[in-house]
Structure 1
Amino acid sequence: MKAVSGQTIIQLFESWSPKKYAAMENDPIGLAVGTLNKNITKVLVTLDVNHTVVDEAIEKGCELIIAHHPPIFRKLAHLRTDSPQGQLFEKLIKHDIAVYAAHTNLDVAEGGVNDLLAEALELHETKVLVPTYKEHYFKLAVYIPESHAKQLRTALAQIGAGHIGDYDSCSFQTAGEGRFRALDGATPFVGEKGEVHLEAEVKVEVVIPESLQKKAIKTMKQNHPYEEVAHDLYRLETVSKEMGLGRLGLLENPMTLKEFAEHVKRTLHVPAVRVVGDVTSTVQKIAVLGGDGNKYVSAAKYAGADVFVTGDLYFHVAQDAEALGLSVVDPGHHVESVMKEGVAKKMTALCAEQNIPCEFIVSEPSTEPFQFI
């Protein structure tokens, strides 16, 4: 298989789950071990990085590991190869295997950990539980000869500018008069050097999402006849995208809390769950947050959830939830392993779209440290 650079693979990954989505301050995401300045043919996707997973990567010929949990979560005081952690890094370096971590940015991303959990639980009408990231709309206003306005509007619409809700190709146009004088060195599209020129122009206004700014400006310049394009770009208060941790959604049909707990066990493939609440009560509105969700019990209650599905529930937080009248189902932290197949599938599709040759392999060993007896 033809190789592709590690930088290319991660740039593609970050087009879906960029670092700016990280919901935790100083979250140790990104390249943790090794280099991306090398060719990659196989990527192993895993929840955690331990010796068993690294041995798997070696056996399968993977040059890169994409993990959800960062292998270096706190700063290292030293790196000793006679310690388990040091031996792990030594093995990675000796076999030239890079490790890239996508933690809370992957929790937040559309199609990331929390969407995958909500999908597994068969929730519908889902929305963000705890908003952590917002993108605003921007207004692009361009002054252009009337003869070229249609071409510009069409080109901007084709890249997604003017897409508002269930409508696209949205724009506004007003007629006016442009006035300018071309100086020495200019090559004016209309008018003569040294003379003030008046031109019938129109002002084309279009709304764009924050993420589309650079592409919209580039498209505008490519479809404008003037050397110097007169335009305005300013931020609106309107939010184009709101993202965050956790999801809130509905079950197709109500269940008792006991039935729902069994549903969680079955769909998330866990042998047991911890439950807080009256198991005979009826639940339908479900909040789910992968990993440690202790901080978000109040958010789940405030959102109107009947039950909160999350891991690592502390004893006193469970008591707080009980006092609030919020049921909780704790399937453990390891259910985030749903990301392995989800990330491999997403990256395979993204690479196929870009004609990038790379194989994404789902890590097979379980990294769940707990056993149920």
Structure 2
Amino acid sequence: MKPANGQAIIQTFEEWSPKSLAVEGDKVGLMLGTLNKPVDNVMIALDVSEEVVDEAIEKEAGLIIAHHPLIFKPLKQIETTTGQGPIIEKCIKHDIAVYAAHTNLDITNGGVNDMMAEALGLEDTKVLVPTQEIPLKKLVAFVPENHVEIVRSALGDAGAGHIGDYSHCTFATDGTGTFIPGDNTNPYLGTQGEMEFAAEKRMETVVPETMIRNVIKALEKAHPYEEPAYDVYPLDLEGEKLGLGRVGYLKEPVSFETFITQVKSAFEVHHIRTAGPEPDMVKKVALLGGDGNKYWSYAKRNGADVYITGDLYYHVAQDAAVDGLSMIDPGHNVEKIMKEGVKRKMESLIDSNKYATQFIASSVSTEPFSFR
């Protein structure tokens, strides 16, 4: 088997976590190097420090996918003995490309915030801070009767027909399709030059706009006709809301002290900061990975018993406490949960039977603080 090309790896990654999800002004995408090369090993990292690059060199990784951008502000110069210079120099010398997935990885389904919510065992989660809504489309396909189940399965497997917790939702009605195969056709039904009357089903399903291309590809692959007939319509319906943070429920209420222990265990930290009034019991939890200072009011508005986020500012903690919100700051570095999470996701998306590329979670700690 050959390793996957870097462009194919990132294309697959962006089908899961597209750059379009990132908040305005965020720096995401290729930071350094080229993706147009075979990549044997991909390192998944929270930050791109010099120690992480050394680890990538040791593991012979040709690509680093990081959560925090290596280059966020424009560089006026690259001095190879100070600042980011040594990192950039090592990456160039060892042909290591650096790709950043920041707020798009926070927002996407199954991304950083979902990983954090899952680690805490939260249920019935929803977006804390909506940033966008994905429009819905209605796909209508005309399918011969003996292929209805094949096409229905293909559409559902490709992401069509999701309504709440239900999948593969379709509606079909009977009809008759007509067509005359031309001289250069090889028709599944009918004869060249003669009108054909085919018993067909009009199959309808809903598709998020971001998935419509893949769903149509699945339709064309599963449909027996050379030229499948289908229509796509916009829908004036509320689409899926995407955004930062999550809010959900613990399976059972627990005391605040018990919940603190759970937070430390889930995020593998020994120390946390708390602020605000301590609730007797914790049931509803809001969280936002990274710096969530400006979003504490969303947690309050959603009736959360506690809000978990990193880098809490002094005055933000005071203001939220006055408003009666309990907060826990386990640190920004808890987003390290994405290293194993992205590794598992990419292993599920890249066909290991087709490509020899390996995904490696960085073992380097990039926590800048020491606790005494």
Aligned to 1:289: 288
The more displaced of 246-255 and 327-336 is 246-255
Contact 2:47 2:70 in 1 (8 A): yes
Cα distance in structure 1, aligned partners of 2:363 and 2:186 = 63
Cα distance in structure 1, aligned partners of 2:222 and 2:347 = 34
Distance change (3 Å), C-alpha of 1:331 and 1:204: same
Give unpaired runs (5+ residues) of structure 1. Answer: none
1:4 aligns with 2:4: yes
Contact 1:152 1:223 in 2 (8 A): no
Shift in Å, 1:55: 1.2
* Aligned partner of residue 138 in structure 1, secondary structure: strand
Map 1:34-53; keep pairs closer than 5 Å.
34-53=33-52
Aligned to 2:204: 206
Contact 2:272 2:328 in 1 (8 A): yes
Distance change (3 Å), C-alpha of 1:142 and 1:360: closer
Cα distance in structure 2, aligned partners of 1:349 and 1:187 = 37
* Aligned partner of residue 333 in structure 2, secondary structure: helix
Shift in Å, 1:218: 4.0
Distance change (3 Å), C-alpha of 1:271 and 1:139: same
1:303 aligns with 2:280: no
Normalized against structure 1, the TM-score is what? 0.86
The more displaced of 330-339 and 264-273 is 264-273
Cα distance in structure 1, aligned partners of 2:167 and 2:80 = 59
Distance change (3 Å), C-alpha of 1:151 and 1:131: same
* Aligned partner of residue 237 in structure 1, secondary structure: coil
1:158 aligns with 2:154: yes
Shift in Å, 1:259: 3.1
Any idea what the Cα deviations from partners look like across 1:170-205, whole Å, max 9, x if unmatched?
223253686x88999999976997x9x795775714
Distance change (3 Å), C-alpha of 1:76 and 1:322: same
Larger C-alpha radius of gyration, 1 or 2?
Answer: 1
Letter of the aligned partner of 1:307 in structure 2?
A: V
Contact 1:157 1:169 in 2 (8 A): no
Give unpaired runs (5+ residues) of structure 2. Answer: none
Shift in Å, 1:107: 0.9
Shift in Å, 1:346: 1.9
Shift in Å, 1:68: 0.5
Aligned to 2:110: 111
Letter of the aligned partner of 1:151 in structure 2?
A: H
How many percent identity over aligned positions? 48
- Number of matched pairs: 366
Contact 1:141 1:203 in 2 (8 A): no
1:58 aligns with 2:46: no
Distance change (3 Å), C-alpha of 1:162 and 1:149: farther
Distance change (3 Å), C-alpha of 1:183 and 1:270: closer
Any idea what the Cα deviations from partners look like across 1:37-63, whole Å, max 9, x if unmatched?
112111111110111111111122211
Cα distance in structure 2, aligned partners of 1:359 and 1:177 = 48
Shift in Å, 1:125: 2.5
Cα distance in structure 2, aligned partners of 1:104 and 1:168 = 30
Contact 2:151 2:223 in 1 (8 A): no
1:130 aligns with 2:129: yes
Distance change (3 Å), C-alpha of 1:246 and 1:200: same
Cα distance in structure 2, aligned partners of 1:72 and 1:275 = 32
Aligned to 1:349: 348
Contact 2:155 2:219 in 1 (8 A): no
Map 1:204-283; keep pairs closer than 5 Å.
204-210=202-208, 211-221=210-220, 231-239=230-238, 241-279=240-278, 281-283=280-282
Map 1:63-142; keep pairs closer than 5 Å.
63-142=62-141
* Aligned partner of residue 247 in structure 1, secondary structure: strand
Aligned to 2:370: 371
Any idea what the Cα deviations from partners look like across 1:294-337, whole Å, max 9, x if unmatched?
12101111111010000011111111211221100011101101
Contact 1:291 1:336 in 2 (8 A): yes
* Aligned partner of residue 238 in structure 1, secondary structure: coil
The more displaced of 325-334 and 341-350 is 341-350
